[in-house]
Structure 1
Amino acid sequence: MAQNRQNRQIKGILGFPVAPFNTHDQLDHAALQENIQFLLDSGLDAIYVCAGAGEFQSLTRVEYETIVEMAVSLSGGKAPVFTGVGGNIAEALELARISQAKGADGYLILPPYLINAEQAGLYDYFKAIIESTELDAIIYQRDNAVLSLGTLRRLTELSQLIGLKDGVGTMETNVEFVQTLGARLSWVNGMPFAELTYPAYRPLGFNAYSSAISNYIPHISRLFYCAVQQNNQELLTELYTEVIFPINNIRKQRKGYAVALIKAGMEIMGLSVGARVRPPLIPVEPEHYKELEQALKRALDRFPVQSTPLEKEELHYGKSTR
């Protein structure tokens, strides 16, 4: 798909399906299908499987292949499907090859396992993965994989690289990246609970963000995204007050809630995902689960799910323009 790469801009709301596990700690295929189909039906702009929300670090190879196959099949070209690849270099290269063989559109390259490397080492790591297939590649900058402008500029010589997802939040660096490299890359806000920071990222040229809450209240994700695009400050203030801050305050209570709280929210909203996570993650504690139930009830009372889907460009404060 290299010939179409100039048209592969990353925009909008990016959905990250979870990996649902049953009571025997096995991948729940029916719940996985429900989760992916729900995101597709909600009109998200791309699907990213086997990444952070999908508990990449705990998946077996068979589970990884199953998830990718199902996502590609269900999408049917309606939305791009990206995978998460990373870890040690041998495993990352194998996952990249699997992603290509299973028909994914590209992959998000996660930080290498544990190692704090020099820029030369990070360049070699990302370069080896990016050029190992013809798939579109996005670098996820965070934790122990923070790039300098020089390193990122060198990596843009590889045509497969189409984007950078930032999970660090150093805004002066982001300004330098975008002002120097411009439209050569797509820029994605990948901060934890990206709705918190997307209004700050948007003026820099970041046209997409990964939305954790899209797994269970995607209509609010879309409402928020459109409010940012339209500079609707009144709606943004209400969304922050009524939805985003309350959920984020729960998320901050425990390490690992960035994933576990997604599953809890999905269960509360009636999706059959279950709330199980694999160690070292911990499930949401009962008192926090109750707080999330109350927060979602208040959110839905104020922003109910529309009876019919709204077009992305038609969302306005409290109603569509139909």
Structure 2
Amino acid sequence: MTAFTFSQLRAALNGISGILVTPFDDQDQIAPRKLAPIVDRAVDAGVHCLVVNGNTSEFYGLSPEEAVSMAHAATELVGGRAPVLGGVGRDIGQACRLARESARAGASGLMVHQLPDPFVAPRGVVEYVKRVGDASGGLPIVLYLRNEGIGLAAIEALCRLPGVVGIKWASPTPLLMGEAMRRCADLDLAWVCGLAEIWAPPLYAMGARGFTSGLINVKPAHSVAIHQALEAADYPRARVLIEQMRAFESLRAEEQNGCNVSVVKAALQLLGQDCGAPRPPAAWPLTEASAQALRQLLAGWRD
């Protein structure tokens, strides 16, 4: 299996970080082999980096053992054709164990989920990420920042931890991201749009490069075309391409984003690549109106 260097991963983060679904069988057991055609399609389309145990992977719906199994299985399926980030999180013990297992699996780096704990001290987050990094044996770290409420001082402290290579900025606050970038301008960090294709243009305007994507499970070539337009600073072309997939993202945002994974998995079913139902608390099945809208959308994509 190909090993990617720190600099190669850093470069890949300027591209598309594709968040892989977690397939289940009809008994609600993980079925990693069902991921093979999705991985192949994404790699063949040119997706730059793949992520296992992310939010589109239903990370918080997986048991610790399932998350470990998926880290190994997904990395094996990618087979060194692209860097793989292994998502880690939850309590510090589980996060450190999953960091160790992701390293054993051959992941190129870690994506550290932001803590959902109701009692989170900003300096405690810094210690959490430091311990996770130590447990991995020194794998590069991408910080997944969904809530900038920990403050710019804590964000800067996180960015200055050894091994941190990038920040997945998943907050619709481009100006605040710009200030965080200014504070860390002496560091060669990847600032990645963590809100997928739709938010990529405004975050690009503030200096971010690359974006995360759940669309890559269904139509990776479209994500790659958007990335190519953004990299060429062809914003009119990027807007046209984003508008073509906006309806898909709008469906995912229904029910307080509870359809985020549901729409991706429903689309895969319609494409003949059934990855099972998402687990509660995701919305499933789709409402008839949403299911019909999705069928019409996919039919248009195939035209």
Task: Output the TM-score relative to the length of structure 1.
Answer: 0.85
Give the corresponding residue for 1:267: 269
CA 1:34–1:3 in 2, change beyond 3 Å: closer, same or farther?
closer
Residue 84 of structure 2 corresponds to residue 73 of structure 1: no
Residue 184 of structure 2 aligns to a residue whose secondary structure is helix
Provide the rounded CA distance (Å) in 2 between the counterparts of 1:237 and 1:51: 26
| 8 Å Cα contact 2:4/2:83 also seen in 1 | no
Provide the rounded CA distance (Å) in 2 between the counterparts of 1:211 and 1:75: 17
Match for residue 109 of structure 1 among 95, 109, 112: 112
Greater CA deviation, 21-30 or 116-125? 116-125
Give the corresponding residue for 1:280: 281
Give the corresponding residue for 1:87: 90
| Partner AA of 1:222 in structure 2 | V
Give the corresponding residue for 1:252: 253
| Partner AA of 2:38 in structure 1 | N
User: Residue by residue, what CA displacement relative to the aligned partner does 1:28-56 show, whole Å, maximum 9, x if unpaired?
Assistant: 23312333233223221011001101111
Provide the rounded CA distance (Å) in 2 between the counterparts of 1:184 and 1:230: 21
Residue 254 of structure 1 aligns to a residue whose secondary structure is helix
| Partner AA of 2:249 in structure 1 | N
CA 1:216–1:206 in 2, change beyond 3 Å: closer, same or farther?
same
| 8 Å Cα contact 2:112/2:142 also seen in 1 | yes
| 8 Å Cα contact 2:193/2:210 also seen in 1 | yes
| Partner AA of 1:40 in structure 2 | V
CA 1:90–1:181 in 2, change beyond 3 Å: closer, same or farther?
same
Structure 1 unpaired stretches of 5+: 302-322
| Partner AA of 1:162 in structure 2 | V
Match for residue 52 of structure 1 among 32, 52, 55: 55
User: Residue by residue, what CA displacement relative to the aligned partner does 1:41-100 show, whole Å, maximum 9, x if unpaired?
Assistant: 322101100110111112123322322222222222210111110011111111111111
Match for residue 19 of structure 1 among 22, 42, 53: 22
Within a 5 Å distance, the mapping from 1:151-300 to structure 2 comes to 151-182=154-185, 183-191=187-195, 194-241=196-243, 243-255=244-256, 256-274=258-276, 276-283=277-284, 284-300=286-302
Shift of 1:116: 4.1
| Partner AA of 1:184 in structure 2 | D
Shift of 1:272: 3.0
Could you say which structure has the higher helix fraction? Answer: 2
Provide the rounded CA distance (Å) in 1 between the counterparts of 2:254 and 2:156: 38
Structure 2 unpaired stretches of 5+: none
Shift of 1:5: 2.6
Provide the rounded CA distance (Å) in 2 between the counterparts of 1:62 and 1:121: 26
Provide the rounded CA distance (Å) in 2 between the counterparts of 1:253 and 1:150: 34
Within a 5 Å distance, the mapping from 1:115-130 to structure 2 comes to 115-130=118-133
Provide the rounded CA distance (Å) in 2 between the counterparts of 1:71 and 1:252: 26
Shift of 1:121: 1.9
Provide the rounded CA distance (Å) in 2 between the counterparts of 1:198 and 1:247: 16
Residue 141 of structure 2 corresponds to residue 137 of structure 1: yes
Provide the rounded CA distance (Å) in 1 between the counterparts of 2:157 and 2:4: 21
Provide the rounded CA distance (Å) in 1 between the counterparts of 2:21 and 2:57: 4
CA 1:206–1:162 in 2, change beyond 3 Å: closer, same or farther?
same
Task: Output the TM-score relative to the length of structure 2.
Answer: 0.89
Q: Determine what percentage of the aligned residue pairs are the same residue.
A: 26
Shift of 1:23: 1.4
Provide the rounded CA distance (Å) in 1 between the counterparts of 2:239 and 2:165: 33
CA 1:160–1:237 in 2, change beyond 3 Å: closer, same or farther?
closer
CA 1:239–1:157 in 2, change beyond 3 Å: closer, same or farther?
closer
| Partner AA of 2:252 in structure 1 | R
Provide the rounded CA distance (Å) in 1 between the counterparts of 2:84 and 2:145: 20
CA 1:29–1:76 in 2, change beyond 3 Å: closer, same or farther?
closer
| Partner AA of 1:266 in structure 2 | L
Shift of 1:221: 0.8
| 8 Å Cα contact 1:12/1:225 also seen in 2 | yes
| Partner AA of 1:69 in structure 2 | H
CA 1:80–1:3 in 2, change beyond 3 Å: closer, same or farther?
closer
CA 1:29–1:8 in 2, change beyond 3 Å: closer, same or farther?
closer
Greater CA deviation, 127-136 or 44-53? 127-136
Provide the rounded CA distance (Å) in 2 between the counterparts of 1:27 and 1:220: 28
Match for residue 29 of structure 1 among 32, 36, 40: 32
